[in-house]
Amino acid sequence: MKRVLRTLGQAFVILVITLALDFVLLATVFSGWKRNWADAATAYTQAYISTAYHHDLAPNAKSKRAWGNITYSWQTDRYGFRIGACAPGEAEKDRPAIFVIGDSFVEGIGSSYEKSFAGLMACDAAMQGKALWNLGVASYSPVIYHRKIRAAARKLGIKPTEIYVFLDLSDIDDDANIYKVGEDGIVRSAGFNWYDVGQFILGNFATFRLLYDVYLSSPLSTFGSLGRERARWTLDPALMAEWGRRGLELAGNNLERIVAICREWDCRVTLVVYPWPDNVAAGDRDSIQVTHWRAWAAARNVRFIDGFAPFFREPAEAALRKYFIAGDTHLTELGNRLLFDEVRSAVGDY
């Protein structure tokens, strides 16, 4: 036992010395590497600002962002909306306006604006003489959606004729467990965010960065896409009982606010759902996320689009490889195009 403890102690000391040297060398001799890595990492943490509805995108931001082993351009306008080719500006404010709201999938994490499904929608809308404004921000959920929609309308001084809500599977968890609205009306979140810690480690230690890059390029990375409770609540009765049912109710109540906004503004609501890798791998074609929200939408005269359907037209293994970023839940370029095509086919002209 003493020999084992001595060996473990020696290994720990070696690890500490290695990481200390790693940190110092990366901060001095290889500072250029560190700057590039850290800039890509902090581009995320510096791109979000606090608001009464929790957070939003910082205005007039521009950076190169890294998502796993993907690097892409990211930019916002003076209102804090993500922009790129086809994004509307001041000159387009007199066009019929379309708002698209959602979380990181709508913001377009891991994708250029032009190749995200929201960006593709914006280009399509522009060709029809309309202006599509992307209100999506990572980690949004219905408790924030209706608040952001009203805030966006005030910022722009316009009211939309259409609102597209892309409802993510994680939204149910967020509304049930993450976000709480205080008596002062401010949205706050519970729990510790490990994201900043991970970004610090990847930006300051070459050892971890190398191991992470090797992991992303290996077959093991696909395992990071699966086993997410935020998707598996549709498959696991225990999760459904614990918070899934409550999350559906809370999300529905918050989406009712958007329906009410459109009654007030005389606009139309379209609700879109789409799968995560867990749903595709499990053959969750007729998911609760589909059946529940289809019925919800029908009862409220809300147009519903089943974005699960196209991801099940191929064998699961092929769909996972083509449409989802390895080791992640977000969509590849082909996945974004697939979801855009499904929406475009369902609605015709906007």
For residue 26, which phi and psi values (nearest 5 degrees)?
-70, -30
Report pLDDT digits (tens) over 57-86: 999 998 888 777 788 899 999 999 999 999
pTM of the model: 0.84
Looking at CATH, the fold of the domain delimited by 50-193+219-347 is given as Rossmann fold (3.40.50)
Per-residue pLDDT tens listing for the chain (350 residues) = 666 556 665 565 555 565 566 555 545 555 555 455 554 555 555 688 889 999 999 999 988 887 777 888 999 999 999 999 999 999 999 999 999 999 999 999 999 999 999 999 999 999 999 999 999 999 999 999 999 999 999 999 999 999 999 999 999 999 999 999 999 999 998 865 554 565 566 556 655 665 665 555 554 444 567 888 999 999 999 999 999 999 999 999 999 999 999 999 999 999 999 999 999 999 999 999 999 999 999 999 999 999 999 999 999 999 999 999 988 999 999 999 999 999 999 998 77
Report pLDDT digits (tens) over 278-317: 999 999 999 999 999 999 999 999 999 999 999 999 999 9
Q: Report how far residue 112's alpha carbon sits from residue 106's, in angstroms, rounded to the nearest whole number.
A: 12
Distance of alpha carbon 224 from the chain centroid: 16
Instruction: Specify the pairing of strand 48-51 against strand 54-57.
Output: antiparallel
Q: Report how far residue 160's alpha carbon sits from residue 176's, in angstroms, rounded to the nearest whole number.
A: 29
**Contact at 8 Å (CB) between 65 and 43?**
yes
Angle CA(119)–CA(167)–CA(165) in degrees, nearest 5? Answer: 55
All structural domains of the chain with their residue ranges: 50-193+219-347
Percent of all residues in the chain with a pLDDT value above 70, rounded to a whole number: 77
pLDDT at res. 26: 47
